[in-house]
């Protein structure tokens, strides 16, 4: 069967409305019961990029995570939230972005990712450290935010799974693979293949355009997308936004490696990309280098450790 990408228009993060939209979105994919069975440990992997710009739509909305967690619990699954922010902890970034009230209501655990080496399909990247928590989950639900990106043009489902590389390791991979955009794109694709998410649900109700992933501005799109195939989903989103896949290293690599289906081979059970075309999506004003030199790697590593082990604990203590 051809990969299916479910696309619908969704206008609100109101919990009742959003829950209804998600049920409609997942219905042609078999509903949540086709992904989650009673007792499954289900990783919810949002984009928890930063805690510093909570009003700029830089992260996956907590309402989306809440509704998906609620749906997982309703069928007997055991959801937990995890990510590996480049700077700080998953808990710290989630707290800064208003996640805690909804998480507390559902008693949803937040886990910090720890790295372990796993076999990958590609021998070029078999030294990649990936989150043990993600690899050991029974089900992975990938919850990316739709954003422009100053290094990779766009960040969607595939790039979101780079969050399964523990925080301080990301800078080292920028140095190791970032000298070549094609190689860096392939590294991200191999990360996605290794994690192999069971379901990707993209938050595009309000996206982030321009100089993303954090330096741009919110952009209302009124869009939700879902698929079992993260590569097909990303390809469909680029078509909606009129972005050339060759400009996006993750999309270009997935096509080069034969992982991304042709648009004509994708089944769209609700809307087709042409039905919800966006002709004025803002890409970055200029792309910046992916490569991190050694000084920047060291600086980024110390920044991550400072935020994680000094700034966040001091902030928590001051709030008592």
Average pLDDT on 137-161 reads 97
Residue 318 has pLDDT above 90, yes or no: no
**Mean per-residue pLDDT, 191-204:** 96
Instruction: List Cβ neighbours of 20 (8 Å cut-off, separation of 6 or more).
Output: none
Q: What is the pLDDT of residue 184?
A: 87
Which residues does 52 contact at the CB level (< 8 Å), separation at least 6?
96, 214
Mean pLDDT comparison of 74-78, 93-97, 296-300, highest-scoring range: 74-78
What is the Cα–Cα distance from 288 to 298, expressed in whole angstroms? Answer: 19
What's the chain's average pLDDT? 87
| Model confidence pLDDT, tens digit, residues 8-47 | 999 999 999 999 999 999 999 999 999 999 999 999 999 9
The predicted pLDDT at position 315 comes to: 55
Per-residue pLDDT band at 137 (split at 50, 70, 90): very high
Nearest Cα neighbor of 199 from 174, 224, 172 is: 224
Beta strands in 65-128 (DSSP E): 78-83, 110-112, 115-117
C-alpha span between 228 and 43 (Å, rounded): 15
pLDDT for residue 286: 87
Q: Which band of pLDDT confidence, cut at 50, 70 and 90, is reported for residue 320?
A: very low
E strands in the chain: 5-9, 41-46, 78-83, 110-112, 115-117, 129-131, 139-143, 145-149, 153-155, 199-209, 217-227
Question: Taking 90 as the threshold, does the pLDDT of residue 125 lie above it?
Answer: no
Nearest to 212 by CA among 50, 58, 54: 58
Burial of 48 (0-12, 13-18, 19+ CB in 10 A): buried
User: Which stretches of 156-198 are assigned E, i.e. beta strand?
Assistant: none
In angstroms, the CA 252 to CA 316 distance is 42
Distance CA 263, CA 273 (A): 10
Q: How confident is the model at residue 297 (pLDDT cuts 50, 70, 90)?
A: very low
Rounded to whole angstroms, how far apart are CA atoms 71 and 110? 17
Q: Is the pLDDT of residue 303 over 60?
A: no
Average pLDDT over residues 196-212: 98
- Tell me the per-residue pLDDT of 253-287, one tens digit each, with 9 for 90 and over: 999 999 999 999 999 999 999 999 999 999 999 88
Q: What structural domains does the chain harbor? A: 5-315 (3.40.50.11440)
Give the pTM: 0.89
Contact between residue 114 and residue 107 where contact means Cβ atoms under 8 Å apart: no
**Cis omega (within 30 of 0) for bond into 213:** yes
From the list 320, 316, 296, the residue with the least C-alpha distance to 307 is 316
Q: Are 145 and 48 in contact (CB under 8 A)?
A: no
The pair of three-digit structure tokens given for residue 143, joined into one six-digit string: 């919850």
Element (H, E) at 250: helix 249-256
């Amino acid at each position: 069967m051809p990969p299916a990408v479910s696309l619908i228009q969704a206008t609100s993060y109101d919990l009742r409305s959003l829950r209804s939209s998600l049920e409609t979105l997942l219905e042609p994919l078999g509903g949540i019961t086709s992904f989650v069975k009673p007792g499954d440990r289900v990783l919810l992997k949002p984009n928890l990029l930063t805690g510093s710009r909570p009003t700029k739509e830089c992260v996956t909305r907590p309402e989306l995570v809440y509704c998906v967690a609620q749906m997982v619990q309703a069928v007997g699954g055991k959801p937990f939230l995890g990510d590996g922010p480049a700077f700080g902890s998953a808990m710290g970034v989630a707290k800064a972005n208003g996640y805690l009230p909804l998480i507390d209501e559902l008693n949803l655990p937040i886990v910090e990712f720890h790295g372990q080496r796993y076999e990958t399909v590609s021998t070029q990247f078999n030294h990649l450290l990936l989150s043990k928590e993600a690899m050991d989950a029974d089900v992975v639900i990938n919850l990316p935010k739709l954003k422009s990106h100053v290094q990779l043009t766009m960040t969607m489902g595939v790039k979101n799974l780079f969050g399964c590389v523990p925080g301080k390791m990301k800078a080292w991979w920028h140095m190791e693979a970032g000298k070549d955009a094609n190689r860096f794109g392939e590294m991200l694709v191999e990360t996605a293949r290794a994690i192999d998410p069971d379901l990707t649900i993209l938050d595009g109700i309000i996206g982030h355009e321009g100089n993303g992933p954090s330096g741009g501005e919110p952009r209302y799109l009124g869009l939700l997308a879902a698929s079992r195939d993260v590569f097909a989903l990303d390809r469909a989103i680029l078509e909606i936004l009129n972005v050339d896949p060759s400009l996006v290293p993750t999309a270009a690599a997935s096509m080069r490696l034969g992982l991304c289906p042709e648009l004509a081979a994708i089944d769209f059970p609700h809307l087709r990309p042409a039905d919800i075309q966006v002709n004025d999506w803002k890409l970055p004003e200029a792309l910046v280098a992916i490569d991190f030199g050694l000084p920047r790697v060291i600086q980024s590593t110390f920044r991550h450790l400072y935020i994680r082990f000094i700034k966040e604990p001091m902030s928590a203590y001051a709030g008592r």
